[in-house]
Amino acid sequence: MTALLRYHSGLFLRSQRWLAPLLLYAALVAVGVRPGDPVLGSLGVAAAGLLPVAAWSARICLTQEAAAARAVTAAAGGRTRAHLAALLTGAGWPVLAGAVAVGAVTTTGDLAGTGGPAAPLAGLLATTACALTGAAVGALASRPFVTATGWSVAGLLLGSLLALVTTGSPAKHAVTALVAAEGAARPPWAPCAAAVLLAAVTAAVSCRVGARRE
């Protein structure tokens, strides 16, 4: 699995397709977060902005290989493991970007009354929840479920929007826990755990369907 993760990460970085989602995320954070703003609200904005970026990243990693190269990778490492490695790569890099954003926001934001170390912890949990929820959206809007580019992009946009506004979404609960917080930060453990479960179930279904269809 380590070799497959390195392979997909290498493809992702060398292709420079990561630039577009990264620049989108940087723009969202730059527009939505200002130095000196209350840190919890700013962390909520940074977490919410990561969801569509993670969905986009997951789709990139699932579709970046040509059909012939994908067949070779599947033959060498196993179809299920190769698909899972692509999903993990697509989810892992947004989590890293979210961690960097949390560091920047907590450094420049107003920490008054947030409980100190609880604020960055809450931000990390919220960004992780949003990244994993976004990766689940990206998995469902990509192969093997959706192969047409137009429908896939439409699915990414609609799925990301629904994941941010639908009651019961781990991402919505995580962002709301930060934006609506009054006083000390309360790390959103439950939404993060729910996002982990959602991502795991989605990955399992995606790998199983992919193994049957491709």
Residue the block writes with tokens 């959206």: 137
User: How far apart are the C-alpha atoms of 196 and 174, rounded to whole Å?
Assistant: 13
Cα–Cα nearest to 47, from 27, 25, 31, 23: 25
Torsion on CA atoms 42, 172, 170, 41, rounded to nearest 10: 20
User: 62 vs 35, 55, 134, CA distance in Å?
Assistant: 36, 11, 14
Q: Is the pTM of this model over 0.95?
A: no
> Would the pLDDT of 52 be above 90?
yes
Q: pLDDT tens-digit profile of 74-95?
A: 778 788 899 999 999 999 999 9
Q: pLDDT tens-digit profile of 163-193?
A: 999 999 999 999 998 887 755 668 889 999 9
> 127 near 152, Cβ under 8 Å?
no
pLDDT of residue 94: 95
User: How far apart are the C-alpha atoms of 140 and 142, rounded to whole Å?
Assistant: 6
> Would the pLDDT of 114 be above 70?
no
